Amino acid sequence: MTYYQFIQAVEDRMKEAVRDSVAVCIHTAEKNNGTIRRGITLTEQNINISPTIYLEEYYRQFQKGSSLDHITADILRLYHEVRFQKPWGEEKISAFSQVKEKLIYRLVNREANRKMLKDVPYIAYLDLAIVFCVLLEMTKYGTATMPVHNAHLDMWGVSKEEVYAKASENTCRLLPDEFSTMSAVIEELSKVPPGLGGEDEELGGEEMYVLSNRIKSYGAAAVLYDDRLACIGTYLKCNYYVLPSSVHEVIVIPERAALGKEELSAIVAEINRTQVEAEEILSDRAYYYDRKERRLCM
């Protein structure tokens, strides 16, 4: 079964499984880095915010032997957990006073998102772009957000600098950063019991760290938080490299333990090509933090 046939089959089964008041349709979206994703959108009567459940991962499960019945049941379960139960009033986004405390920012690659950046306000940062969205809801499954477009600035009567100022205040408050050793992150992902984290932990010589936010979603933006990079430099007692492993996190390596910047950039580029989903790639470049200048540079 091809991916398109799989999507059609899931759509048909979902239409049979939901109430008559819920419309089911295939939705195609252009996401970060110009990637195209397809999913199932479920629209309820009198509810103007509809979840889209993307199907790429489910198709991989299907190829590994998972049945359509099992996949449909799992999508239906997820839908009931993430669905909005009341409409989002348009008046809540028509005035800047209604959204300003919910504005947050994200970091994306500037070159890979040239088309998208024509329609949205952004701030250039290194080879990246700081873009904005309104955080509508945050659950254990992720976030519901509304991208901020140039039309929103016109409607609100504000500049992108004003939006950036509010987003700078809000993002670190709503999405606090998390700075951990690499072994601690791996231990958490694999649920390895404390004390069995590997050789680095036994030697006490951990030299790789991960910076993200606590929900691990677009956490690379934590490099923008006030004084966060300076505090890391104080902790490490040296300059350091920042490797953009994805839009969700960056890896920090002290200069004393790092390869040269060209080698690090080559490693980042290779990992992006072989291990990171196209939608999640941030940059192929390694960055360098200079403690004296208090600045991240390319």
Q: What is the pLDDT of residues 179-200, one digit of tens each?
A: 988 887 776 665 544 433 333 3
Q: Do both 29 and 54 map to the same domain?
A: yes
Top-ranked range on mean pLDDT: pick from 134-138, 192-196, 204-208, 236-240: 236-240
- Residue 182: inside a domain: no
- Residue 181: inside a domain: no
* Alpha-carbon separation of residue 153 from 99, 108, 189, 200, 266 (angstroms): 12, 20, 40, 49, 39
Domain boundary (128, 153, 174) is at 174
Q: Do both 52 and 96 map to the same domain?
A: no
From 127, 124, 122, select the one nearest 111 (Cα to Cα): 127
- Residue 40: inside a domain: yes
Domain boundary (150, 174, 198) is at 174
pLDDT at 135: 92
- Residue 191: inside a domain: no
Q: Do both 73 and 119 map to the same domain?
A: no
Q: How far apart are CA 71 and CA 81, in angstroms?
A: 16
- Averaged pLDDT, 197-208: 47
> For 15-44, how does the pLDDT look when each residue is reduced to its tens digit (9 = 90+)?
998 888 888 999 998 999 999 999 888 888
The range of the structural domain enclosing residue 232 comes to 206-297
Contact status, residue 220 vs residue 248, Cβ threshold 8 Å: yes
Q: Please give the tally of structural domains in the chain.
A: 3
- Residue 288: inside a domain: yes
* Alpha-carbon separation of residue 60 from 36, 53, 173 (angstroms): 17, 15, 36
Q: Do both 100 and 63 map to the same domain?
A: no
Q: 3-class DSSP state for residue 44?
A: strand
Residues with Cβ within 8 Å of 119's Cβ and at least 6 positions away in sequence, in order, are: 149, 150
Banded pLDDT at 205 (limits 50, 70, 90)? very low
- Residue 105: inside a domain: yes
Q: Do both 147 and 167 map to the same domain?
A: yes
- Residue 214: inside a domain: yes
Q: Do both 239 and 270 map to the same domain?
A: yes
> For 69-114, how does the pLDDT look when each residue is reduced to its tens digit (9 = 90+)?
999 999 999 888 877 766 555 556 788 999 999 999 999 999 999 9
pTM of the model: 0.84
